[in-house]
Structure 1
Amino acid sequence: MTEIGLIDSVIESAGPVALIGGGDVPGAVAERVLGMAGAVVGADGGAEWLLRRGRMPDAVIGDMDSLTPRWSRRLPPERLHRVTEQDSTDFEKCLTRIEAPLVLGVGFLGAQVDHMLAAFSVLARFPDRPCLLAGSNDVVFHAPPRLRLTLGRGARFSLYPMRQVSGHSVGLEWPIDGVTFAPDARVGTSNRVRGPVELSFDGPGMLVILPVAALADVVAALLGSDARWPALAG
C-alpha cells in the first residue's frame, strides 16, 4: 500500500469521478452515478460494495480501518492508497486526492447524522473541489458562484449555510435577496421552485439540498458551469 501525502493526486480525470463510501449505499442511485462517471474510487470500506458487484475500483483511498483483508486481497496493491493520519475523514482523504471537474459521492448520506455532518463540513471547507453527494432521498452539493437549474414547478429547494453568506435568486417561491444566511441564524430550507432557477452568492459556504430526482439535472448544471470557488486559506 502506498503512503500518499496531502498534496498528491491519486486520480486525475477529465470527466466526473464516482466515489463510493462505506455508509448507506442505495443501489439504484449508485448505479446511476456509476453510469455518469468514468473513473471509480472506493473510500476505504466502500471498495467492498464495488467488489461485491463485480466492479474493480480504479483506486481505494482511506486509512483502511474498514476494508477487511478478505476484500483488500482482491485489489491490486498499486490501487490501495493508505492515508494513516486520523485528523480527517475518509471522505476528505478522497476528495483532496481526486482532480476532476466533478466528484459524485454515494455512501456519505444516511442513518448516521454525525458522519453526514462531517461530510457537509468537508464540502464547505473545499469549495474548490466540486462534489455532489447523493443518497436515497436527496442530493447535496456546495453551491457554485452562479447556478442555473430547470426543475419541476413546486419541487423542494433547500439552502443550508455553513458560514455567513448572502445571494440573489430567481425562480424560487421565497427569494433570497437581502437575506444574510448563517448556520446559527437564518437558513433557507424547504423553499419551492416557481420556474427556472438562477442563483448567485457573494462567497462560498452555501449547500444546496434537492430531491434525488434532480440528480441528472444537477450534474449537467455543475458540469456546464464554473463550479469551483477559490481555495480557502487555512
Structure 2
Amino acid sequence: MATALAPRIVAADGGAQHCLDMGHAPERVIGDMDSLPVSLRAQLTPDQLCPVAEQETTDFDKVLRYVQAPLVLGVGFSGGRLDHELACFSTLLRHPGQRVILIGAEDIVCLAPPRLQLDLTKGTRVSLFPMVPVVGQSSGLQWPIDDIAFAPDGMIGTSNAALGPVTLRFEAPGMLLILPRAWLAALVRQLLETPEGWPAL
C-alpha cells in the first residue's frame, strides 16, 4: 500500500534489511549504521549509503533531515518498541515543516497541519493527541474542539468521531492526528493539496 502511494524508498539504518526482505531495494540508507548488518552493508554501493555519525538523534530524525519530498510515509516505526514509537512522535514535532504520515497495522498518525479537511464517513474514529499545549477549532466532529486548551498532561482528544466531513484548524504545531489506516490514501491526498504548512523549526 505504501509503495503505491510513495514509490521511492529510503531506509532508516537496519530498516534496509526489512526492505530487502519484502522485495524492495532502498535508494538510500540513512542513519548512524549501528544496526545495519555488516554483510548487508557490503552489498550496498557508496551512493546508497548516507552515514550520519552522531547518536543524539534517532535514525528517523536523520532520514527527515536528509530527505526532501512533498510527503514522507513512514513504515515500520510503530507497533514494535514503545520507546521507539514515542521517539517518532517527538520527531514529527521536531520537523513541522515536513508532511509525514506514520503507518501502523491499524492506525496512521501525522502532525496536524494548520488546516485540514477530510471527507470522512459518519462514525470514523478521529483521535487527537497534543504533544504540547495547543488550541484548535473543528467542524464535523461529534465532540467539537473549539477553543479547548489541549495539553499532554491535561485535556486530550482521543476517541472522537466524525459526523461526516471534518475540518480541523490549529493555531500552532503540536497536535497528532490519528485515524484508521483505511483512510491513508485520503489523508495523503489532502496533505498534498493543503497549501500551507508549519514553518520548519
Q: TM-score, normalised by structure 2?
A: 0.97
Superposition deviation, residue 153 in structure 1 = 0.9
2:178 matches 1:215 = no
189-198 or 34-43, larger mean C-alpha shift: 34-43
Structure 2 unaligned segments of length 5 or more: list them.
Answer: none
Give percent identity, aligned residues only. Answer: 52
1:163: which partner in 2? 132
Match of 1:22 in 2: none
Q: What is the CA–CA distance in structure 2 between the aligned matches of 1:46 and 1:209, rounded to whole Å?
A: 24
Structure 2 match to 1:146: 115
Counterparts of 1:99 and 1:166, CA distance in 2:
29
Q: Look up the match of 1:4.
A: none
CA gap of 1:98–1:187, structure 2 versus 1, over 3 A, is same
Whole-angstrom distance in 2 between the partners of 1:216 and 1:138: 13
Counterpart-to-counterpart distance in 2, 1:38 and 1:188: 33
Where 2:50 maps in the other structure, the secondary structure is strand
Q: What is the number of residues matched between the two proteins?
A: 201
CA contact (8 A) 1:144 1:226 kept: no
Deviations 1:40-87 (A, max 9, x none): 100001111122233221100001111101212221121101111010
Please tell me the residue identity of whatever aligns with 1:165: V
CA distance in 1, matches of 2:200, 2:121: 33
Q: CA RMSD in A?
A: 1.0
2:173 is matched with which residue? 204
2: distance between equivalents of 1:223 and 1:175? Answer: 25
Matched letter for residue 141 of structure 1: C
Q: TM-score by structure 1 length?
A: 0.83
Query: Does residue 185 of structure 1 match 2:151?
Result: no
Matched residues in 1 for 2:32 and 2:150: separation? 35
2:34 is matched with 65
Structure 1 position 96, deviation (Å): 1.1
The residue that corresponds to 2:68 in the other structure is 99
Over residues 166-213 of structure 1, what are the superposed CA-to-partner deviations in whole Å (9 max), with x where a residue is unaligned?
A: 111011000000201011111100000101000111111111011111
How far does the alpha carbon of each residue in 1:145-174 deviate from its partner, in whole angstroms, 9 at most, with x for none? 100001121011000011111111011000
From the superposition, tell whether residues 227 and 123 of structure 1 become closer, same or farther in structure 2 (CA, over 3 Å): farther
CA distance, structure 2, for counterparts of residue 43 and residue 163 of structure 1: 26
Q: Is 1:48 the counterpart of 2:17 in the alignment? A: yes
- Secondary structure, aligned partner of 1:171: strand
Indicate conservation of the 8 Å contact 1:59/1:81, yes or no: yes
SS in 1 for 2:60: helix
Structure 1 residue identity aligned to 2:162: V
What's the CA shift for 1:227? 5.4
- Alpha-carbon spacing, 1:206–1:214, altered in 2? closer, same or farther (3 Å): same
Q: Which residue of 2 aligns with 1:20?
A: none
Amino acid at match of 2:142: E
Where in structure 1 do 4 or more consecutive aligned residues deviate above 4 Å? none
Shift of 1:37: 1.2
CA distance in structure 2 between the partners assigned to 1:132 and 1:54 by the alignment: 22
CA deviation string 1:115-168 (max 9, x = no partner): 010000000111001100001011000001100001121011000011111111
The partner residue of 1:120 within 85, 89, 103 is 89
